[in-house]
Amino acid sequence: MLLSKKIAIITGSAKGMGKAMALKFAQEGCALAIVDIDIVEAEKTLSEVSDKGGKGIALSCDVTREDQVKKAVEKTVEEFGTVDILINNAGAAGVSFPIEEMSEEIWDKTFSLNLKSQFFFCKYVVPFMKAKRSGKIINLSSIGAFQPPAHHIAYNSAKAAIVGFTNDLANALAPYNINVNALVPGPIRTSFYEMATGSMNAGEQEDFFARLGRKVPLQRPGLPEDMAGAALFLASDLGAYVTGHALYVTGGLPLLPSVQPV
């Protein structure tokens, strides 16, 4: 197994991409701290991990609160002794506003959830990784950092800042044998699209995702399992010589779909 005896914290792992990562990592022998603000759904994910023979704990945490982040890391270390892998997956886009209508409050909340939360977790996890001179940190960015699909300036700016944050940390921690990388998801079929599809019936939702897929070179939207596979690569020894990299998991974006022959 690729992650045998490893300990991972995965934020936002009650649903979607984070949940898929948790289940994939459990299959590979990793013990997990399933960290999410929704403890009910986190417990459900933990139950699925346990059903697969995996070990873990579910922790309630508002990732924008430094005191709660510190406590979550401390509880993980109390339970498992250390942290080998940190995946900063928690984040959300929220409501989009044109820049002239953007309030300072919405801007700050968006950066707090998507960027400052990653700073908090790295702040409290890195000392354990430095002490044992090894570790893997994976930060979630977005294709919106490079090719915004829509005007969502607070979210896209925060996701772009994550790439700079990742590069700086990768350089600083390389002497300690700590790999720091970013994952750049494209259109992944998760609750991210709930605002667009929530009022649709099942057939309308399938049509929506089919249209979305046609905008992608691989002609389909991604699945949470696609992200889990990429995360496994970076978190395992398969990615031992990769650091300071933003890995696109986008179905080929920002390339344009090829023109199909008639």
Q: Which residues are catalytically annotated?
A: 155
Instruction: Of 235, 227, 56, give the one whose Cα is nearest residue 135.
Output: 235
